[in-house]
Structure formats: C-alpha cells, structure tokens
A and B are shown apart, each in its own frame.
Chain A
Amino acid sequence: MSATPSTAFEIAAAVRAGSVRAIDVLEAHLGRIAARETDIHAFNLVTADEARAAATRIDDLVAAGRDPGPLAGVPIALKDNMCTRGVPTTCSSRILEGWKPPYDATVVSRLAAMGAVSVGKTNLDEFAMGSSTENSAFGVTLNPRDTSRVAGGSSGGSAAAVAAAFAPVSLGSDTGGSIRQPAALCGVVGVKPTYGTVSRYGLVAFASSLDQIGPFSADVRDSALILESISGHDPLDSTSIPQGPLDLVSVLDHDVKGMRIGRITDMPEGADPDVLGRLEAAFDALRAAGATIVDVELPSLKYGLTAYYLIAPAEASSNLARYDGVRYGRRVDAVDTNSMYMATRAAGFGDEVKRRIMLGTYALSAGYYDAYYGKALKVRRLISDDFARAYATADVLLTPTSPIPAFKVGEKADDPLSMYLCDIYTIPTNLAGHPAMSVPFGESRDGLPIGVQVMASTLGEQPMFKVASALERHMNSSGGRS
C-alpha cells in the first residue's frame, strides 16, 4: 500500500498509464479511513461500495485501452452540502436527514466525468454556518493534527479528510472563510476561487452572493488541478462567469520575481503573535524570491465582519425558508400547515442556524432593511472599492488566514461573536467576490499548523497560485522550519 502514489496528480498519471489500479488506490484510502475515521469523524457518510464500483469501472476502461479522464482514479471527498444523486445529502442538519437528491451538483457530475472517485460526504457546520464544525447535528470533526482541537469550519470534514489522508483532495464551500480557515487549522491547502468561476448548481445555498466551491489538497499543485477541473461556465448557474476553465497548473513553476506583494497596514488586529510571525516569515520568503513588498491601506476592511454578518444571514434566512417539511426532509406533524412549519423548523434546525435565520430575518424586515441589510450592501461596496485601490499597486495581498491556530473543542461554543471573529481575515474576499487561498506556512510554538492567506483580485487566480507555489517551495526547501 505504501507504494501507491499520494497526490491526485500522481494518482491520475499512474492510473491513466496503467501502472497503478484505481481500486488499489481506493483501498489504500479506505484502509486509512477504517483506521482513523472514528477518532476524526471527517465523514457523515463513506460511500465505499459506490466508490469501489466507480474505481472498478475506471480500471476496466484503462484495461480496454480507453482514457478514464484527467482525474482517473483520484479519490475525492465531498462536503455534504453538494447534491449527489441517490446519495444522502444532509448539510449536517436534522432537517435534511435521509434526503436523497434526485440530481447531481454540476461539480459532482464534472468530477465523475473526469474519472474522480467520490469516497463520501464530509461533515460540516450545519448549513455551513460556523468556523469549527462543532455545529453539526452529527457530531464534531476533530483536527487530525491534534484531536483535542477543532478542524475549523465550516468545511472541517473536507479539511480533516485531506489532513488525515483519507482522500488526496476534497471539495468544500466557502462563504466567509469556510475553506481557507479549516485548511489553515488542519495544515492543508484550501482555495476559494473568484465568485462565478465554479458552478453553484447543486451546492445547497447558504448565502448565494458569497458562496463558492473550492478544493482542499495536501499541496498547491493538486488544488490547481482540481480547480482547473471544476471551473468553467455552467449554463445552469446564472452567476457563472462565461469563460472556460482556469489555467493554473502551467503557472506553478513561474517565479515571483518582480511581483508586488501587498501588506495591509491597517489590518484588523487581534491575531496571535505566532500567526503574525509566520506572516512576516512569508513576506521575507517572497522578498528573498525577488518579489517587492508594498504597503496598502484598506480602511473599510474593519467593517467587513459587520457587513458579512448582516448580508449572509439575510440571504440565508431566505435560502433556508424552503425547509418547511412539505416536499423533502424532516417533518414534525401538526394539526395545520402553519403549526407544522413552526414545529418542523424548530426541531430540524440547530441553534446557530436558528440564530442566523433570526438575525437575517430581522435585518430584512420592514423598518430595519435600510438600517441593516441596505447599509451592509453599501459597506460591501466600500470594501470592494478599497480592494480595487489596493490591487492597483499590488498583484496579491498577504494576510493571516485565521487569527489563531486550531482551538480546543468547546472553547468558543458559548460565544457566537468570538467564533465569528475567526473569519475576520477571510470574510472580506467573499464580500468582494475575489479569489483567496490558504497555504500551510509552518507551525505555532505548540506545533499547530499555521496558514498564510494569499488574496488576489477578480480572476487573479494565476498570480495567487504563483505566490502560493513560491511559499510552498520555500517551506519544502527549508524543511518546514522557516
């Protein structure tokens, strides 16, 4: 088993070449899942039988001399908020327990068509609302690097699955940092692409104007490969940008000489000194690689949290109104339809989801729209304008991904606001619709992974990946010590 290749890139190449069988690759991963999943709880559902059938079909294609596609035999884990036909999709919520979608999300059908093999559905904060995957109706996902700590969230299951090598790659969704923050906490790469580059069709909506699907992987190249595979126009998503797939793998070897790396001088405070230390190390590494560090100001950035926590719950309150017990999912019976709605939704949603539905309903309601939701949309514009000015002088911006490394399970459970602050650095990119990614860049004094966030302007994935790749090269060459 140790002979099987470990990255998606290597797996696909080996399976297509016929030098490794997809089923063997899969069994190696299923073996690791069997060994450690009970300690981690990355998955809501492991679809071993379906995965074996898919892997076998791929091996048969190879045996028949046909090409199963660019992701041939690559095991992949899917966040359990992406629709998979006939396979339960729960969003880690009681209200969708048992629901089997009658259709596949666009990303799911694209991956399957390229030969990837789905190994299961990963745990998340209920409806992707949270930063620790503690808000799951089906239990907490623990951090494979330290199982007393959270994996981050909301895509904690997908981050943990890659960190534990249950799959070389996985998909998450990122509304305010839900890919990047768990990636940082678990020590893996996580990418939120430009809004509109990856289809949202079949992604269960949290906040429609902010949600994007993106990859997790152990290295930058695998994320580039997966993002290339799932990006590109989808006529089923009206907000999908009409352009072809991104071209990323080809730029990874480019150096960063002459690139302008922005340092935000008025960055929101409160980050852990170890985290800030690693950020400085990242600037140093890029400077050493020939890049220029430029100072930029984004005075409105500090309002990002407020804008986000008014906009996202407002959209969510509407997106989650469909869970009414009429057509699918859970129902609590009652004497009339209205009582049925009230009882079903009270029993089906967890506390954090209810809190956000309440907040969002309030922000949109008559008399409060202008003061809250309307105002938040204007602040969103201010932040976007700040970014536009910054990107006139910088190619990418560097910040911490998370203000702190992985925290203890339960540590923030009783304080929603302190949990919300985990996303202080990731939220602004969602508001602007820009791409951003987290790259592992060393550890804290306690040995916990720390990620650096590389942010770029709209469709700036190429410069973003170039810089991420340079940071990764630096870590590899320094043996992870600088």
Chain B
Amino acid sequence: MPDTPSERISAAAVAKVARLARLDVSDDEINRMTGQLAGMLEHFADIDSLDLSDVAPMTQPYPLTNVFREDVVAPSLDRDEVLANAPAAEDGRFRVPPIIGLDG
C-alpha cells in the first residue's frame, strides 16, 4: 500500500476511472479530482494496518437465503408510457446513436 497521498492515486489512474465510469471530464477536473480522491484515500488509510485475514467479509446486513418468485407471468408495462419517457424512440424501440467506441 502506498503511503503518501500523491502515491495513492495518479491523474492517469483517475482518467482511467473516469473512462470506466463513462464520465467526460476535462484535464482540470481530472487534476482537481485526483487531489480530492487522494485526500480521501489518505483519510481511509486508517484501515490499512488492520489484520483482517481471519475476518469474513460482510455483504448483507440481514442473512436471508433462497428468496424466490414463482414462474408466473404478470402484465408488461405499457410500451407507449415507457417510450414516452425515452429520449428517443422509433418503431416501438429505443433509439441510440451508432454503437461504436464502446470498447476501451
């Protein structure tokens, strides 16, 4: 684990994260975010020294298992009502710009 704020996260890493999260951010914003994230990660370094090797992760607060629904059809939402909320629709479908540039 790196131990100075600037080593905790680089501008390049922040830019990569922004791309993963599909957020268009300017270089200025990247720099500002890098400082803020580094500061937070520094604050969150308090758990670094904990020995957690024997601790099971806790993902849910109330332990339930086997919650099912039966395989019974319920009516569909009304297509017109749903498409009325869509930014763009055509022929009963949602319209999007050409699907390119999605990988990377």
Residues of chain A whose beta carbon lies under 8 Å from any beta carbon of chain B: 99-100, 102-103, 194-196, 209-210, 235, 238-239, 241-242, 302-303, 305-307, 309-310, 317, 321, 324-331, 333-343, 345-346, 349, 354-355, 357-359, 361-362, 365, 371-372, 374-382, 384, 416-417, 431-434, 458
Bound Cα distance from A380 to B47, whole angstroms: 11
Q: Is the CB of A238 within 8 A of B22?
A: no
- What is the total of A-B residue contacts with beta carbons within 8 Å? 172
Instruction: Specify which of A326, A338, A378 is in contact with B56 (CB 8 Å cutoff).
Output: A378
**Residues of chain B within 8 A of A384, CB atoms compared:** 58, 61
Alpha-carbon distance between A302 and B13 when the two chains are bound, in angstroms = 29
Contact among A310, A317, A326, A371 for B96, CB-based, below 8 A: A326
CB distance B57 to A378 under 8 Å?
A: yes
From B39, which residue of chain A is reached at the shortest CB distance? A417
Contact of B23 among A302, A342, A362 (CB under 8 A): A342
Chain B binding surface SS class: loop
Q: Is the CB of B21 within 8 A of A340?
A: no
Q: Is B12 an interface residue (CB 8 A)?
A: no
- From residue A28, how far is it (CB to closest CB) to chain B in Å? 35
Those 3 A-B pairs whose CB atoms lie nearest each other, nearest first: A433-B61, A377-B57, A331-B87
B interface vs A, CB < 8 Å?
A: 1, 9, 13-14, 17-18, 20-25, 33, 36-37, 39-41, 43-44, 46-47, 50, 52, 55-62, 64, 67, 69, 77-78, 81-82, 84-88, 94, 96-102
The DSSP consensus for interface residues of chain A is: helix
Excluding A321-B21, A365-B20, 15 further A-B contacts by CB distance (< 8 Å) are A100-B85, A196-B61, A238-B64, A302-B46, A309-B40, A327-B94, A329-B87, A331-B87, A331-B88, A336-B101, A337-B100, A340-B96, A362-B14, A378-B50, A417-B39
CA distance A309 to B44 in the complex (A): 8
Question: Do residues A337 and B24 form an inter-chain contact, with CB atoms below 8 A?
Answer: no
Contacts of A338 in B (CB 8 A): 22, 100-102
| B residues in contact with A432, CB < 8 Å | 61
A305 surroundings in chain B (CB, below 8 A): 43
> If the complex has contacts A336-B99, A416-B40, are A375 and B52 also in contact, measured as CB distance less than 8 A?
yes
Given A195-B61, A235-B69, A326 and B94 contact (CB-CB distance below 8 Å): yes
Partner of A355, one of B36, B60, B64: B36
Which single residue of chain A is at the shortest CB-CB distance from B69? A235
> Contacts of B78 on A, CB cut-off 8 Å?
102
C-alpha gap A365/B86 in the complex (Å): 31
Which listed residue, B20, B23, B33, B59, touches A377 by the CB 8 Å rule? B59
Given the known inter-chain contacts A209-B60, A458-B62, please indicate yes or no for A382 contacting B25, CB distance below 8 A. no
Given A100-B85, A416-B36: A239 and B60 interface contact (C-beta under 8 Å): yes
How far does the Cβ of A20 sit from chain B's closest Cβ, in whole Å?
37
Which A residue's beta carbon lies closest to that of B56? A381
> In chain B, what residue has the closest Cβ to A355?
B36
Residue of A nearest to B1 (CB): A371
How close is A242's CB to chain B, nearest CB, in angstroms? 8
When distances are taken between beta carbons in the complex, the residues of chain A under 8 Å from B69 are 235
Report B6 CB to chain A, min CB distance, Å.
15
Residues of A within 8 A of B64 (CB): 196, 238-239, 241-242
Does A378 lie within 8 Å of B61, measured CB to CB? no
User: Which residue in B13, B55, B97, B100 is a CB contact (below 8 Å) of A378?
Assistant: B55
Interface centre among B44, B56, B94 (most CB of A within 10 A): B44
Task: Provide the bound-state CA to CA distance between A100 and B17, in Å.
Answer: 31
B66 to chain A, nearest CB (A): 10
Complexed CA–CA distance, A431 and B9 (Å): 26
Q: What are some 8 contacts across the A-B interface (CB < 8 A)?
A: A309-B40, A336-B101, A337-B100, A355-B36, A357-B23, A358-B33, A378-B55, A381-B55
In the assembled complex, how far is the CB of residue A212 from the closest CB belonging to chain B, in whole angstroms? 9
Expressed in whole angstroms, the Cα–Cα distance for A379 and B102 within the complex equals 36
Which listed residue, B57, B84, B98, touches A337 by the CB 8 Å rule?
B98
Q: How far is the CB of A94 from chain B (nearest CB, A)?
A: 13
Q: What separation, in Å, do the CA atoms of A345 and B50 have in the docked complex?
A: 36
* CB-based contact A359/B67 at 8 Å: no
- Cβ-defined contact, A362 with B13, below 8 A: yes
- Whether A417 pairs with B40 at a CB distance below 8 angstroms is yes
The interface residues of chain B lying within 8 Å CB-to-CB of A458 are 61-62
The answer to whether A337 and B97 have CB atoms under 8 Å apart is: yes
Q: How far is the CA of A239 from the CA of B82 in the complex (A)?
A: 27
Chain A's closest residue to B22 (CB) is A341
Q: Are A336 and B20 in contact (CB under 8 A)?
A: no
Asked if A381 meets B40 with Cβ closer than 8 Å, knowing A102-B85, A239-B62, A339-B101, the reply is no
A468 shortest CB reach to chain B, Å: 21
Are B43 and A417 in contact (CB-based, < 8 A)? yes
| Residues in chain A near residue B13, CB distance under 8 A | 362
Residue contact A379 to B47, C-beta cutoff 8 Å = yes
- The CA of A325 and the CA of B57, in the complex, are separated in Å by 35
Q: Which residue in B18, B37, B67 is a CB contact (below 8 Å) of A238?
A: B67
Question: Across the interface, do A377 and B25 meet the contact criterion of CB distance under 8 Å?
Answer: no
Q: In angstroms, how far is the closest chain A Cβ from the Cβ of B27?
A: 14
